[in-house]
Amino acid sequence: MTFRKYLVLAGVTVFAASGDSLLRHGMTEVGSISLNHLPDLILAILNPWVAVGILCLLGFFASYMTALSWADLTYVLPASSLGYVLLALIAKFILHEQVTTTRWLGILLISAGVGFVTQGPELTHHPPKADLKPCADEAATTRVTP
């Protein structure tokens, strides 16, 4: 795997964790909103923390699409789950949330699973499919009788 591909996967991880953390911080400032009250939702989006969080999540989406263009979903999704480690660290040390031992164990298991996935190929190669359309010569020589 090339350095650029590692950067794309790192972008998936960092943008997702950053975006989610910024959204969490912004929504703490905004307070409770409801989808039934659209003006509250629009005001929430205008909160600077929420807006930057949305931009980070757009960066995640662009990185994720890029990664899926050259690797299987079964490779990209587990690799992007390393963001759980980063997200837990941000939640604990920046957002001052309580991260229980059970959650840390779950994150450790996810990380171990990612280690297994990265040992395999990033893309499944399929044999080329035969062209199902008949050649022009075959179509001209084949006659259908009623």
Give the start-to-end residue ranges of the domains of the chain. Answer: 3-117
Tokens of 48: 């600077």
Q: Does 39 score more than 80 pLDDT?
A: yes
Q: Does 68 score more than 70 pLDDT?
A: yes
pTM above 0.85, yes or no: no
Of residues 133 and 65, the one with the higher pLDDT is 65
Q: What is the pLDDT of residue 80?
A: 80
DSSP for 87-111, written as a single string: HHHHHHHTS-----HHHHHHHHHHH
Q: What is the pLDDT of residue 54?
A: 97
% pLDDT > 90, the chain: 51
Q: What is the pLDDT of residue 24?
A: 95
Distances (CA, A) of 11 to 16, 54, 62, 63, 126: 8, 15, 9, 6, 28
Q: What is the pLDDT of residue 78?
A: 81
For the stretch 79-118, pLDDT in tens is: 788 888 899 999 999 999 999 999 999 999 988 888 787 7
- Residue found under tokens 């990033």: 122
- Taking the C-alpha atoms of residue 109 and residue 129, their distance in angstroms, rounded to an integer, is 38
Distances (CA, A) of 117 to 23, 48, 75: 29, 37, 6
